[in-house]
């Protein structure tokens, strides 16, 4: 049995056990998950969302934008030697404390039985976002 088969069995098999105790299943995901399925990470996030939606348990999927705290990781992954290549696609990064607050807020509400989004207040091109981080940390790339 593959990993995906095990996980797809989970909601049906365990619903009678967990549903009396879980009244609102809240999941943190990523804005754009359904548009980034070429990435294994996003395919896994999509599978997680689909499992929650199919479980029959009231739920809210909170899709958040990029965390400010991941700027360094984005730069590292996008680096080719001493060059960092990133698109100028707009991002609306959030501080992780704000993401946690948004998840807590949605948790205390009635289940949306759908997807809600949380984003930072300002749009910035992704390449500028990482460039500012690299400059602030005295990274010469």
- Please give the pLDDT value at position 51: 87
- Please give the pLDDT value at position 135: 95
Under 8 Å between Cβ of 106 and 112? yes
Question: Beta-carbon neighbour count of residue 118 at 10 Å?
Answer: 19
- Looking at domain 3-67+93-121, its CATH superfamily turns out to be NAD(P)-binding Rossmann-like Domain (3.40.50.720)
Instruction: Supply 77's token pair.
Output: 């992954």
pLDDT band at 32 (very low <50, low <70, confident <90, very high): very high
DSSP string, 116-132: EEE--SS-EEHHHHHHH
Residues facing residue 60 across a β-bridge: 26, 114
pLDDT, tens digit, 9 for 90 and up, residues 34-86:
998 888 889 999 999 998 898 888 999 999 999 999 999 999 999 999 999 99
Q: Where are the domains of the chain?
A: 3-67+93-121
- Please give the pLDDT value at position 76: 94
Please state the pTM of the whole predicted model. 0.80
């Amino acid at each position: 049995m593959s990993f995906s088969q095990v996980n797809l069995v989970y909601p049906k098999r365990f619903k009678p056990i967990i549903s009396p105790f879980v009244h609102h299943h809240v999941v943190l995901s990523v804005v754009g998950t359904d548009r980034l399925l070429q990435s294994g990470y996003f395919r896994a996030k999509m599978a997680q969302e689909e499992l929650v939606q199919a479980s029959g348990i009231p739920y809210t999927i909170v899709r958040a934008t990029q965390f400010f705290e991941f700027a360094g990781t984005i730069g590292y992954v996008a680096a080719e030697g001493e060059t960092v290549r990133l698109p100028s696609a707009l991002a609306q990064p959030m501080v992780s404390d704000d993401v946690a607050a948004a998840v807590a807020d949605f948790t205390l509400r009635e289940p949306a039985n759908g997807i809600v989004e949380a984003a930072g207040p300002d749009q910035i091109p992704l390449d500028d976002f990482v460039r500012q981080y690299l400059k602030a940390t005295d990274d010469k790339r």
